[in-house]
Amino acid sequence: MTGTASTPLPAEQSLGEQDGKYLRLAIGLADQARARGNRPFGSVIVSAAGEVLAEAWNRNGETGDCTAHAETEAIRIASPRFSREELAGATIYASGEPCVMCAGAIYWSNIRRVVFGIDAVRLRVFRGERLDQRDAELSCRDVFDASPAAIECLGPALIEEASSSHVGGWKT
Ligand SMILES: [Zn+2]
């Protein structure tokens, strides 16, 4: 698999046991999303104490809502229920690198830690050239780096597992 000619593929990062467990949960939700006719993305928000605060999958196909990305959906569940202080200690897991919209939602939620599976560069191989499937080519780290709060970001990680949800999952 190759990226676009100008963009190098980011190196895979290794995860600890807990991070691996929750990222795999997000990847499982991506497969569930796909089985229900949505883009294959899943997301989980976990508190500092290790409690799952929200689980969500992409619901574009089910709802017709173009903003129903997995991470934004998970934040819509968690944000009304938990305080900004609680969310500051939480981690959001995403099967794929958060897009610009989701990175913005993560910032607004006050979640300060992000772990993602397949990166946006590798994802573009699956997205292809269709305009309805292409993403804005700005890394989530660019959004986090521009935010006034420090947001730790780990990824790509478990690339092979996270990629499997996307094989044959996009229109050509
Ligand atoms: Zn998104």
Per-residue pLDDT, averaged over 10-17, amounts to 96
Q: Is the pLDDT of residue 29 over 80?
A: yes
Eight-class DSSP state of 108: H
How far apart, in Å, are the Cα atoms of 163 and each of 18, 123, 157? Answer: 20, 8, 10
Percent residues over pLDDT 70 in the chain: 97
Count the neighbouring beta carbons within 10 Å of the beta carbon of residue 18.
12
Candidates 50, 41, 49, 57; CA nearest to 21 is 50
Ligand 1 centroid to 9 CA: how many Å? Answer: 20
Ligand 1 centroid to 39 CA: how many Å? Answer: 11
> pLDDT class for 4, splitting at 50, 70, 90?
low
Q: What is the pLDDT of residues 110-135, one digit of tens each?
A: 999 999 999 999 999 888 888 888 88
One of 12, 17, 55, 71 is an active-site residue; which one? 71
Q: How high is the pLDDT of residue 1?
A: 47
pLDDT mean across residues, the chain: 94
Whose structure tokens read 């997000």?
26
Q: What is the pLDDT of residues 35-94, one digit of tens each?
A: 999 999 999 999 999 999 999 999 999 999 999 999 999 999 999 999 999 999 999 999
Q: How high is the pLDDT of residue 95?
A: 98
Q: How high is the pLDDT of residue 132?
A: 85
Active-site residue flag, 85: no
Give the three-class secondary structure for 91.
strand
Contact indicator for 68, 111 with CB cutoff of 8 Å: no
